[in-house]
Amino acid sequence: MRTAAPLDVVRVRRDFPIFERAVRGKRLVYLDNANSTQKPRAVLDAERVFYERGYANIHRGVYLLSQEATEAYDRARARVATFLGAGNPAEIVFVRGTTEGINLVASSWGRANLGPGDEVVISEMEHHSGIVPWQMACDAAGARLRVIPVTDTGELDLEMAAEVIGAKTKIVSLIHVSNALGTINPVEEIVALAKRHGALVLLDGAQAISHGPVDVAALGCDFYVFSGHKLFGPTGIGVLWARAGILEAMPPYQGGGNMIHTVTFEKTTYAPLPFKFEAGTVNIAGALGLHAAIDYVAGLSWDAIRAHEAALLAKALDRLRAIPGLRFQGRPARQAPVMSLTVEGIHPHDVGTVLDAEGVAVRAGHHCVQPLMARFGVPATIRASLSFYNTADDVEALGTGIEKAIEVFRG
């Protein structure tokens, strides 16, 4: 069996202009990838060239610039469909990001399908964008929100999942990879369990999308959402994939231009998929940037990316475990390169401030998972999240920076 050639990280880093700069006089060590990823030149160039050489609005112009922009936008949609293993580009709806994608489903699908006595199932590790929209939908419909608990190791309690998901469940909305713990959830098992009860499944792929291939057909889910900026693409662009039959039955999320077929004061008819859900002037440049980001990642090797990230995660866990007073929140058996930790006696914000002075960028806070923080009995954590452009030197800088924070605050 052939193995992928090791990732050439030195070459990869040259593709990302931001690593040419210093931060506070130090080499930039960017470890906030779970929040947002850096952008390769290919993505920056795609947006720049569009604005400089080809900008026009789409779908309504008979002139050349508009036709070219429309064709480029349509190619971006088709590229996303291929990337996700979706057979039909019309199943790809461009949104602002994961949050809007979930809100679209909770509002549109929820309005049409939820009623009193129905249940929506989420997990205890959901991002706020996977909690609040469903709370709002349940409140509007008189439905009940139920929660799959998380174990001490930071994994879904599958025994409780089998009890929570039942005959009243209409939809299960689950994060594919935890943004705080790095837990890779057994989504195939949850999908199978939901399907036995006739429930739909939405997967939040914001964290999964940059760490390995996603095949929605193989996953068996009904909705999949992700954000472009988590995949080395622009902000303000994201994707909702859903089965065509489900989208067809859903009412529009917003009204306006581009999503209509005919409008009179008496009645409006709507455009076909996916335009029914893309009201107004869309983020054309963002879609083109996302296309470039997907092409960039596809030009690497998923096997090489995963091997490199797994090696970095193992090195980071070993390095940090040697620091007295450091505690990891959760110890999942299957983990993406995301770590959530605390240092005894020092607030995470203080650790993050010292790390920043050393040029190390991490996240400190509740990471939009306040219920999960409450589950582990902490108000906040330090989150270090790795990507394929990170190096062993970055991991060492993290460890050294935390040790310096301990020295500063403990003396």
The residues carrying an active-site annotation are: 368
How far is 333 from 387, CA to CA, in rounded Å? Answer: 19
Residue 373: how many CB atoms within 10 A of its CB? 19
Sign of CA dihedral 378, 380, 382, 388: positive
Burial of 21 (0-12, 13-18, 19+ CB in 10 A): exposed
Angle made by CA atoms 203, 284, 270, in degrees to the nearest 5: 70
Helix axes 284-298, 64-84, angle to 10 degrees: 40
* Number of Cβ atoms within 10 Å of the Cβ of 314: 13
The 3-state secondary structure of the chain, one letter per residue: CCCCCCCCHHHHHHCCHHHHCEECCEECEECECCCCCCCCHHHHHHHHHHHHHHCCCCCCCCCHHHHHHHHHHHHHHHHHHHHHCCCCHHHEEEECCHHHHHHHHHHHHHHHHCCCCCEEEEECCCCHHHCHHHHHHHHHHCCEEEEECECCCCCECHHHHHHHCCCCEEEEEEECECCCCCEECCHHHHHHHHHHCCCEEEEECCCCCCCCCCCHHHHCCCEEEEEHHHHCCCCCCEEEEECHHHHHHCCCCCCCCCCEEEECCCCEEECCCCHHHCCCCCCHHHHHHHHHHHHHHHCCCHHHHHHHHHHHHHHHHHHHHCCCCEEECCCCCCECCEEEEEECCECHHHHHHHHHHCCEECEEECCCCHHHHHHHCCCCEEEEECCCCCCHHHHHHHHHHHHHHHHHHHC
